[in-house]
Amino acid sequence: MLTHHKLILAVPADRLPEATRSTSFIPTSEEGLWPVLQQAGLWLGPRPQLEEMPSFRQIIPYVALKVGDRFVKYTRTPAGGEARLHGRVSIGLGGHIDLPDVAFAGDHIDLIRTLDGAARREVDEELAGVQVARRRWAGLLVDNDTPVGRVHVGVVAVWELESVPHGSAEDAIADTGLATLQELHADEARLETWSALLVRHWLSHGG
């Protein structure tokens, strides 16, 4: 019997835009982002099966935090649940959207409220003292080149903070600090794929 914590939000991979067939960050306006995901068809399914089903992509809010022109970075430790990311440097905070995260409007999933709530929960769980001045949703992230990437789609948010966070709030995160895009790019070999894609795009196009 399935329990609620095993159900996570996903979307059929073949119903996402053609641009998701390539490994990339796909910048999208907030107004354009929600219909893309909603019309593809949202589905709550069991996480163990979805981890092995590239025909679906698990929806992951991926929040980049900025203080001025610098981004909050951290290292993923072995305490984190995704072993394939241990030891990698990241500028994204986020995770799976569990059934308790899902907000409904009548009999439909309210995707904006769901993503907003899940993103806030993840950030609060992972970092302490995050005071947000402005926030925006920025686009989609896809990695078709690795097993972990092929079963996820990142929904990227950028949060501008009023001050530097107090530090890690959980064991899965270590070595928190601030870095410019140029500094992150110089250390790209250590970046997880999604963070590297964002850094490259924002260096070229502004971010």
- CATH number of the domain within which 164 lies: 3.90.79.10
pLDDT of residue 2: 45
Mean pLDDT of 64-89: 78
pLDDT of residue 84: 56
Regarding predicted confidence, which is higher, 4 or 167?
167
Among residues 30, 8, 33, the alpha carbon closest in space to that of 101 is found at: 8
Model pLDDT for residues 158-175, shown as the tens digit of each residue: 999 999 887 675 766 888
**Which residues neighbour 101 within 8 Å (Cβ) at sequence distance 6 or greater?**
9, 114, 117, 118, 121
**pLDDT score of 4 more than 50:** no
Among residues 42, 27, 40, 25, the alpha carbon closest in space to that of 111 is found at: 42
pLDDT of residue 176: 87
The number of domains in the chain is 1
What does DSSP say about strands 108-109 and 152-161: parallel, antiparallel, or unpaired? unpaired
Residue 26, Cβ neighbours under 10 Å: how many? Answer: 21
Written as one string, the DSSP assignment of 117-167 is HHHHHHHHHHEES--EEEEEEEEEEE--SSHHHHTEEEEEEEEEESS---E
Residue 87: pLDDT band (50, 70, 90) is confident
Q: Residue 75 sits in which domain range?
A: 4-205
Mean pLDDT of 45-50: 95
| Both structure tokens of 27 | 């910048």
DSSP 191: B
Helix segments in the chain, DSSP class H: 30-40, 47-50, 111-126, 147-150, 181-186, 193-205
Mean predicted lDDT score pLDDT of the chain: 90
**pLDDT score of 91 more than 70:** yes
Among residues 71, 82, 62, the alpha carbon closest in space to that of 176 is found at: 71
Helices (H) and strands (E) in the chain, counts: 6, 14
Residue 78: pLDDT band (50, 70, 90) is low
